[in-house]
Copies of this chain bind each other. A is one copy, B any other.
Amino acid sequence: MRDTEVQVCFRPSDREAYVLPGTRLVEAAAEAGLVLDVPCGGEGICGRCRVRVVAGAAEPTPVERERLSPEEIAAGWRLACQSVVAGPTDVVIPTAAPQILVPEQRGRESLLQSPVRKLYVELPPPSRGDDLPDVLRLERALGAGSLAIDLSLLRQIAVRLREAEFRGTAVLVDGRLLDFEPGHTETDAFAVALDLGTTTLVAELLDLAAGAAWAVEARLNPQIRFGDDVLSRILHVRQNADGLGELRATITSAVDEMIGELCRKAGAPRERVYAIAVSGNTTMQQLFCGVDPSPLGEVPFTPTLGRGVECRAEKLDIHIHPRGDAYVMPVIGGFVGGDTVAGILATGLQECEKPTLLVDIGTNGEIVLLADGRLSAASTAAGPAFEGARISCGMRGCAGAIEKVLVADGRLQINVIGDARPAGLCGSGLIDVAAELLRHGLLTPQGRLLPKDELPRDAPADLLDRVVLREGKTAFRLAAEGETADGRPIELTQRDLRELQLATGAIRAGIAILLRRAGLTPGDLDRVLVAGGFGNFIRRSNAQRIGLLPCRIERHRIRFVGNTSLAGARLAVLSRQSREKAEELARAAEHIDLSCDADFSREFAEAMMFPEE
């Protein structure tokens, strides 16, 4: 069942992935930890995922022929969402084009006015008759008005100016003089965007001079050892005297290491990173800031932070430039945090003219509805099932995970990530298998896995053979003993399906309530934007089949918008206007506390059922 995987190398990050031939480049990149933004949902429309295949380029698809010129095609340019891997491949991801999420054709570039500016200046040294104070001399040379200067820099500036012989590069963040560097360093200017997920941390180094992303670094959130969801981490803080300190140190040291790694890759000294923007859910942001999340752990689940936090990165124990700027996104309310604000910001949701839904699928599911120009947002505790946790054979979407399950030609086919035997099932595979079982009648809409004697006669024999008894209960076998990494079979149990129902139901109920409050039905939605690193790998039809995404909506209206939390942080670190917009959006969006909604319990109970076909 497993084909031979081939190597795909990505530059300039020098990452590699091993994938089956036929895998799209965008998926191969994702396996290598490089999330390319495919705002159009991989339809080949937006052209944002252009890459240059320098070795092993596949034949261009009709869509590519339409979108790219013959010269471009000859030079190896392809669309990563279209081009498939044919054999060993070398791919260059262009850094010149910033991987900024542009979901619609709008010119979002106008937003990108980086608050960090560097300006090389040569000052006339003080002389008789020109004894202007150092600081005013610098202001004069910069042609700027009054500059705010931190005391720590005021204490060094005279020596800095004189050692540099009054020639050097001023680093300005808004109206603040961050530093004066000897020599011409205008092109050395970096910033970091950080997505603080409950499960996954993603950091990106942005080259401000080039306007491009330099490198991405992703790793598991090490706070997981204190609990796999935010409530268990809040509990840890409440029950341990220095719980907050522990959780904060765990996350900040991980982030600090990631920044070090990004700088190493880019050959950028840490002190040339002048800003960082951070996006995460309410709890993660408070833990990162060292703000006790205890009140989030009891009724009525109150956050402390509301507006975005601006401070020196140093105060958060993040080591960039010693006076570098940190920004943590504003919070909407309850558990609906900065990641949701970032998502709205990155997708331009509030500017859509027709009803649009944004769903961020993660350990916390966040749902935002735009209708009649109003934003409403809710959070549902989907739990970590989509991240492979609480599933008997579950695992995260890394090497060895069954990430795709498909019934074709009457046989169950699986795709495993990386050059490995299957070791478990990740979220996208879980959705796939549930959808196929529903389609072939092995699973009832109520979520019951039918026992051998109740199975439909017309189902493919390969599927029927996989229905087994495990400890007296019906289970579905994905891989037999001999096929797996550890020699144990990979089987989906009734209990696993219950976890999936709970996770799916939570999100589905949230969507239903938001729609109902706005007087809408799923059919009224012009578009459904699916966010989350995981979102990109879901098969839309399968997500609809199990009810995770609304059924009564045409498939082309569902778009995958990638990691919008990271994309929003990127906008916030690149643009002052984006920060202002984020603050505005956070206050404009109405927080819907689902647990306060009279209909929630009933809605949730109903949403537990898979849709009838």
Mark A residues whose CB is within 8 Å of B: 126-136, 139, 146-148, 150-152, 154-155, 157-159, 162, 289-292, 294-295, 299-307, 309-311, 315-316, 331, 333-334, 583, 591, 593, 596
Contact = CB atoms under 8 A, between A and B. Distances in A.
Contacts of A331: 133
A134 B302 contact: yes
Given A151-B289, A158-B295, A135 B305 contact: yes
A127 B307 CA distance: 20
Contacts of A591: 131
B157 A304 contact: yes
A27 B127 CA distance: 45
Contacts of A299: 128
Contacts of A305: 133, 135, 154
A306 B310 CA distance: 26
B333 A133 contact: yes
A133 B292 contact: no
A593 B157 CA distance: 23
A583 B147 CA distance: 12
A583 B150 CA distance: 17
A300 B128 CA distance: 5
A47 to B, nearest CB: 39
A292 B331 CA distance: 43
A580 to B, nearest CB: 11
A593 B306 contact: no
9 contacts: A128-B593, A129-B593, A131-B334, A133-B304, A135-B307, A151-B290, A155-B289, A157-B304, A158-B291
Given A158-B295, A311-B151, A127 B300 contact: yes
A154 B291 contact: yes
Given A133-B303, A134-B295, 12 more contacts: A126-B302, A128-B300, A131-B301, A133-B305, A133-B306, A133-B333, A135-B305, A139-B306, A146-B307, A151-B311, A155-B290, A158-B295
Contacts of A151: 289-290, 309, 311, 315-316
Among A162, A289, A300, max chain B CB count under 10 A is at A300
Contact of A304 (B129, B135, B292, B593): B135
A151 B317 CA distance: 12
Contacts of A333: 131-133
Contacts of A148: 310
Contacts of A583: 146
A596 B304 CA distance: 59
Contacts of A132: 302, 306, 333
Nearest to A138: B306
Nearest to A312: B151
Contacts of A596: 128-129
Contacts of A290: 151, 155
A136 B307 contact: yes
Contacts of A316: 151
A367 B529 CA distance: 70
A346 to B, nearest CB: 22
Nearest to A126: B302
Nearest to A139: B306
Contacts of A306: 132-136, 139
A154 B304 contact: yes
Contacts of A311: 150-151
B136 A292 contact: no
Contacts of A130: 300
Nearest to A157: B304
5 closest A-B pairs by CB? A133-B306, A136-B306, A133-B303, A126-B302, A135-B306
Contacts of A154: 289, 291, 304-305, 309
Nearest to A290: B155
Contacts of A146: 307, 583
Contacts of A147: 307
A126 B296 CA distance: 11
Contact of A302 (B131, B152, B300): B131
A159 B159 CA distance: 44
Given A151-B311, A154-B304, A304-B158, A131 B593 contact: yes
Nearest to A298: B126
Nearest to A154: B291
Nearest to A334: B131
Nearest to A303: B133
Nearest to A162: B295
A350 to B, nearest CB: 19
Given A146-B307, A307-B146, A302 B155 contact: no
A517 to B, nearest CB: 14
A292 B155 CA distance: 7
A596 B334 CA distance: 66
A375 to B, nearest CB: 16
A309 B154 CA distance: 9
A262 to B, nearest CB: 24
B301 A159 contact: no
Contacts of A294: 158
